[in-house]
Amino acid sequence: MEDSKSGMGLKVALGIALVLFLGTAFYSLNLYKESNKTKKDLTEQKQLVMNDLNAMAKQYDDAISENEVANNNLIEARARIQGLIDSLKISETNVKSLWRYKQKYMSLQKEMDVLLAQNDSLRVENSYLATSLDSTRVRLEERTMFTDSLLIQNTALAEVMENASVLSTIGLKGFGVIERTSGKLIPTERASRTDKIRVCFTVAQNKLVQAGDQELYVQVIDPKNNTLGANEQVVFGDKTINYSIISKFNYENSSLNICEFVTGKGDFEKGRYVVNVFNSKDLVSTSEFTLK
């Protein structure tokens, strides 16, 4: 009788263990499937953003090719999009990063709508100007309205930036320079004559940022995807950034113009260079230039 009870107890224990094992296996399988689905969804979303940016770049290319005289606003906007595309290619695929790129895409989309509308308007004006002298007066009036519109947009942009509690930069530019023995610097587009890369930008006014010593990380990437300058790493949580130089400055809650120099390891390569500025781990500005 006791053997029978013992055997029965053993069967019950084995049954419970089997149920627990099957339950754990089912839960693990579902968790694995959900993880793979999330990764797949994020990858698809990233590709959609990349497709949208490429489509936007194509629209700019078409608009620029239709003009006999290149519109600098369109060219600069096209360069910003290319910089964002390059940054997205090497970015991590996670919800926070993807959301940040979507926000930047929406901002660039609004800018493109305005610029293309203005570009179409200017083409119509140029055609109309050829017909009579009166069209000159019309163009001047519309130019005045266009300038007023830009002033309003810039004022609104400044107000938006003041509401942010982090430093941001505008007017980022990179270019090669020849350094004379006297210390005089001469800009150049020739790789063979370039002694240093000069990176200039403006730290935007932001009264919400605490005054005092601040720093931004400048990254210059050459045509072979090498980080020039110090090429040292800084880690922010789960993100690592290779930087060319740390730009350190005293911030007094007003716009500040900054220029830094980045050196290479030997001769500079011909081709396209990408310049990025990071505030901690966040990309706040990007630009590009070419050495021939």
- Given this model, what pLDDT does residue 58 score? 83
- Given this model, what pLDDT does residue 27 score? 47
> In the chain, which stretches have pLDDT less than 70?
1-42, 67-71, 88, 91-99, 101-102, 105, 108, 115-116, 119-140, 144, 146-165
- Given this model, what pLDDT does residue 162 score? 45
- Given this model, what pLDDT does residue 249 score? 93
- Given this model, what pLDDT does residue 76 score? 79
Nearest by Cα to 168 from 284, 52, 20, 14:
284
Nearest by Cα to 260 from 250, 274, 281, 246:
246
Tokens representing residue 71 in the block: 């519109």
Residues 6+ apart with CB under 8 A from 17: none
Tokens representing residue 246 in the block: 């740390």
- Given this model, what pLDDT does residue 39 score? 62
- Given this model, what pLDDT does residue 171 score? 93
- Given this model, what pLDDT does residue 203 score? 92
The structure's pTM equals 0.45
- Given this model, what pLDDT does residue 51 score? 82
- Given this model, what pLDDT does residue 29 score? 47
Q: Which domains does the chain have, with CATH numbers?
A: 1-130 (no CATH), 169-291 (2.60.40)
